[in-house]
């Protein structure tokens, strides 16, 4: 399998809250903020700040995508629609809430987990653990899309907790990653910076263009 490119982002089709495919190709040319969310977390009030970002910048091209995830303390119980209803009723969320996913482990969604099976792509990361003063070697073979594109501290790729945030540019490249405790309001300057940039990608086809008949070859009956 070839390594990921910016266009890989638009090839993914996660499920929405109703279990239907949500085609990321429709987001070409947009700046996208991706967040794994939960309804019973101490960080859940961040929904308010995320919605404020969406309301302020959506007309300039920002899309916020919320992915409920129940992997951290079981703090996103119920169905995908339960999670969407909660954030809408409690925080007035209007940005797209998609289906529940895993973000770590063997069942992690491909958007978060992009597998590169070639042994030649394994690498050894050496880092020093300050507490015990030992050197730990970790062989990493599971790279996946968001985490591969923008590793966290010391190169670690695992999602740490609910409300970790990734920012994807108008060209489909992951340009920043923030810790769960980073407040949504502190993201504004980076979002504004990306919104000022133009996309080099062709826009997605409109519904009219998709429905247009293909002209018959010249000379055909």
So which residues are the catalytic ones? Answer: 41
Residue 121 Cα distances to 107, 114, 140, angstroms: 21, 13, 9
Token representation of residue 157: 């790729």
Residue 182 Cα distances to 91, 119, 147, 162, angstroms: 18, 35, 17, 11
170 within 8 A of 198, measured Cβ to Cβ: yes
Q: Give every CB contact of residue 50 below 8 A, 6+ residues apart in sequence.
A: 33, 35, 64, 66, 93, 95, 184
């Amino acid at each position: 399998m070839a390594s990921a490119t910016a266009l890989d982002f638009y090839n993914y089709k996660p499920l929405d809250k109703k279990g239907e495919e949500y085609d990321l190709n429709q987001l070409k040319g947009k700046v996208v903020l991706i967040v794994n969310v939960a309804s019973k977390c101490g960080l859940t009030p961040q929904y308010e700040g995320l919605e404020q970002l969406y309301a302020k910048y959506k007309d300039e091209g920002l899309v916020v995508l919320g992915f409920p995830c129940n992997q951290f303390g079981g703090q996103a119980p119920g169905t995908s629609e339960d999670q969407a209803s909660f954030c809408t009723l409690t925080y007035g969320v209007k940005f797209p809430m998609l289906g529940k996913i895993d973000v770590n482990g063997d069942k992690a969604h491909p958007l978060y987990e992009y597998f590169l099976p070639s042994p030649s792509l394994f690498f050894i990361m050496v880092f020093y653990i300050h507490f015990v003063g030992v050197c730990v070697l970790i062989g990493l073979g599971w790279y996946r899309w968001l985490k591969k594109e923008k590793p966290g501290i010391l190169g670690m790729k695992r999602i740490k907790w609910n409300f970790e945030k990734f920012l994807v540019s108008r060209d489909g490249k992951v340009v920043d990653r923030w810790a769960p405790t980073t407040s949504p309001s502190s993201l504004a300057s980076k979002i504004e910076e990306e919104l000022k940039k133009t996309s080099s990608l062709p826009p997605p086809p409109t519904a009219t263009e998709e429905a247009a008949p293909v002209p018959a070859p010249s000379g055909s009956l």
